[in-house]
Amino acid sequence: MAYYGHVGGILYVDLSTGRIEKRRLDSRLAEKFIGGPGIGFRLLYDLLKPGVDPLSPENVMIFGAGPLLGLPLASASKCYMATKYAIPAAPDKAKYFVSASMSGGNAFALMMKKAGYDHIVITGQAPGPSYLKVTDKDVEICDAGDLWGKNIEETGKILRQRHRTARRNCGTAVIGRAGENLVRLAGIHVDDWHTAGRYAGAVMGSKNLKAIVTLGEGDIQMADKEGFLQLAETQRREIKCLPSYSVVAPAGTSKWGTIFRDTMIGAKACCDGIDACKSIHEIKEGQHKGELFGGIFFPEAREVITRLGVKDHWESYKLLGELNRLGLCELTVTRMMRFVTALYQRGIITKKDTGGLALEANLDTCLTLAEKVASREDIGAIMGEGWYTLARAFGVDPAADWENGAPIIKGVDLLVDNRVWPSLYQPASGFGPGVGLGPIVHAKTKHTHAATYWSHQEMSFAEVVKDFEKMGATETEKARVFTESRFNTGRLERFVDDAETVYNCLGICDTAVHWCYDATRDVPFLAQAYTLATGLPITPRELLRAGERVWNLERLLNAREGFDRWDDKIPDLYIQNTKIPLKAREGDRYLCDWFGQRLTKADMVRMLDDYYDERGWDIKTGLPTKGNLTELGLGEMMTVV
């Protein structure tokens, strides 16, 4: 049979036995679960045995891409990686979540599809350091002895030089030394700068898999090529005419915005992207002059100065660049650095714990500490095991430390801390659906992008309604979410999640520079694009329903691992925030909803109740019901609940 959008192949690689097998993609699977992580989750449901250790050979890793990636559609640039993650998700027992990470780039995913594969399923453990080479001519498990110990940047450069052809450059997915050493904070990097798997680098390292290289010469077919190209070009012109459109991330006129522009030496858009939200910068002064830094939004570099006390943006660039090369999650590691430094100053941590290192707020200390984490040395070995291990080791809970801790859910510090978010991005966002409630209910505590990601001062209520109308929901559903001037946070978040799942499964970027008004983040539009690309007619409501099906499937995977409503925990620091009397301390910020009204714990519990109710889940357990699963066509999985 012919495949359109999809290329029709799933590659299975058992690193333990060396067995390599190509199977055809089941078209019924593609129709039911869209593609991308939707198919990945369905494969994991059959292949991943509940309760296995994430660092054991029995864990499964799946890399893949949706049906729109590789087609000439603006923002169709995301691939995924799905697995059981290595970070401990409970403070008192061994429990790990199953989820997916999305990554830009995307030479890696494009070359994978051109080689004939929509998904790559990896099991087992190689007997020694290895990398996987995937081309349209052959698939080979190669020796990586000469690459083991090298950083991500060096490894990617060597592999591209080794495998590129005169016509094509290859794509790469690589781990650094942190992943090799099974540091649970390690990540995977796609095409050097793009992270694909916060906390999954150790899983890849446990398989002795240093990298995956992809290279293909094949084509991705479209069912109605002329119609698709016309739709895509109309959309591209529409985006470029938007007042908000910018080729690179807008930096503003602040001091930091000026620094961002003056140090930028390159900004390359992702595969068929229409803008470059990440850029490459050069350190122009000081001891590290000439070194490059890239792959992170510039406000995060600014935050490091505040968080760690490094003296300027040059030092911030140096530290973040080194964390990237080591393959460490820069958000978690820099937050941990701040926390352990505070414990050292209090006398809770001593030089006996640090191997003689005095923990001070300066670049040299931070760089040394980063090396200790990546090498699992001294206190770095404790930090590398995650927040819960760190808390047990020193008897201090980072999730309850107002000044130096972090809001933590399922062992993960939130990408966006609602307490300090206003200090970075004015005006305040508030504890709205996407930025507040989204991380609590997400398996991997990921926030969801929507108009409600921003505050009422930056996005009008009318724009939130417009964003909802682009999700493909019905008028009846809209009436449950909105009144004349307000919305129900919990009920709205359900549709935000379903829509974002659609974007992920298709391969659509959710963080483009112009995302607030992006013509691509539009389920009715994507239903057209999907139909033209794949030849499978689908309505906007059916597409949104498929997103709902995939979201429920991910929930079921985690229900098998023992997760329920108890794990959708409201961060302790947010509860602490609600208990502090108004104006109790100068400079305090208080948790507010999207409309700027202060929240209580009861308000947030009510949001969760509404969320579960809108999904049709059991409010007490936070799990799908048998009736809910039957309606979604997941009846065969009812034994999980």
Domains and CATH numbers, the chain: 9-215 (3.60.9.10), 250-380 (1.10.569.10), 421-640 (1.10.599.10)
- For residue 604, what pLDDT is reported? 93
**Of 438, 444, 391, residue with least CA distance to 554:** 444
As given in the structure block, the two tokens for residue 594 are: 């999207």
User: How would residue 283 be classed by pLDDT, with cut points 50, 70 and 90?
Assistant: confident
Cβ proximity of 394 and 349 under 8 Å:
yes
Q: What is the rounded average pLDDT of the residues 594-618?
A: 93
**Of 437, 464, 434, residue with least CA distance to 448:** 434
Cβ proximity of 533 and 228 under 8 Å:
yes
| Mean pLDDT value across the chain | 90
User: How would residue 7 be classed by pLDDT, with cut points 50, 70 and 90?
Assistant: very high
Sequence-separated (6 or more) residues with CB below 8 Å from residue 333: 185, 323, 370, 373, 383
User: How would residue 177 be classed by pLDDT, with cut points 50, 70 and 90?
Assistant: very high
Cα angle vertex 10, ends 5, 15, to 5°?
Answer: 150
- For residue 425, what pLDDT is reported? 42
- For residue 422, what pLDDT is reported? 52
d(CA 60, CA 125): 10
| HSE-up (13 A, CA, CB side) for residue 5 | 26
d(CA 84, CA 58): 10
- For residue 106, what pLDDT is reported? 85
| HSE-up (13 A, CA, CB side) for residue 449 | 16
Peptide bond into 427 cis (omega under 30): yes
Q: Could you tell me the pTM of the whole model?
A: 0.95
pLDDT single digits (tens) 330-342: 989 999 999 999 9
Q: Enter the DSSP assignment of 598.
A: B
Helix axes 540-559, 37-47, angle to 10 degrees: 30
- For residue 582, what pLDDT is reported? 63
Of residues 248 and 145, the one with the higher pLDDT is: 145
d(CA 470, CA 452): 14
Asked whether the predicted pLDDT for residue 424 surpasses 50, the reply is no
pLDDT single digits (tens) 56-110: 999 999 999 999 999 999 888 899 999 999 999 999 889 999 999 999 888 999 9
pLDDT single digits (tens) 550-593: 999 999 999 999 999 999 999 988 888 787 776 655 556 678 88
- For residue 429, what pLDDT is reported? 60
Asked whether the predicted pLDDT for residue 496 surpasses 90, the reply is yes
Asked whether the predicted pLDDT for residue 426 surpasses 50, the reply is no
Cβ proximity of 272 and 511 under 8 Å:
no
- For residue 278, what pLDDT is reported? 73
Cβ proximity of 89 and 567 under 8 Å:
yes
d(CA 472, CA 88): 36
- For residue 207, what pLDDT is reported? 98
Q: What is the rounded average pLDDT of the residues 158-164?
A: 95
| HSE-up (13 A, CA, CB side) for residue 518 | 27
d(CA 463, CA 564): 33
Give the burial class of 441: count Cβ atoms within 10 A of its Cβ; 0-12 exposed, 13-18 middle, 19 or more buried.
buried
pLDDT single digits (tens) 440-481: 999 999 888 776 777 777 778 998 898 899 999 999 999 999
User: How would residue 282 be classed by pLDDT, with cut points 50, 70 and 90?
Assistant: confident
Of 62-66, 321-325, 426-430, which gets the smallest average pLDDT? 426-430
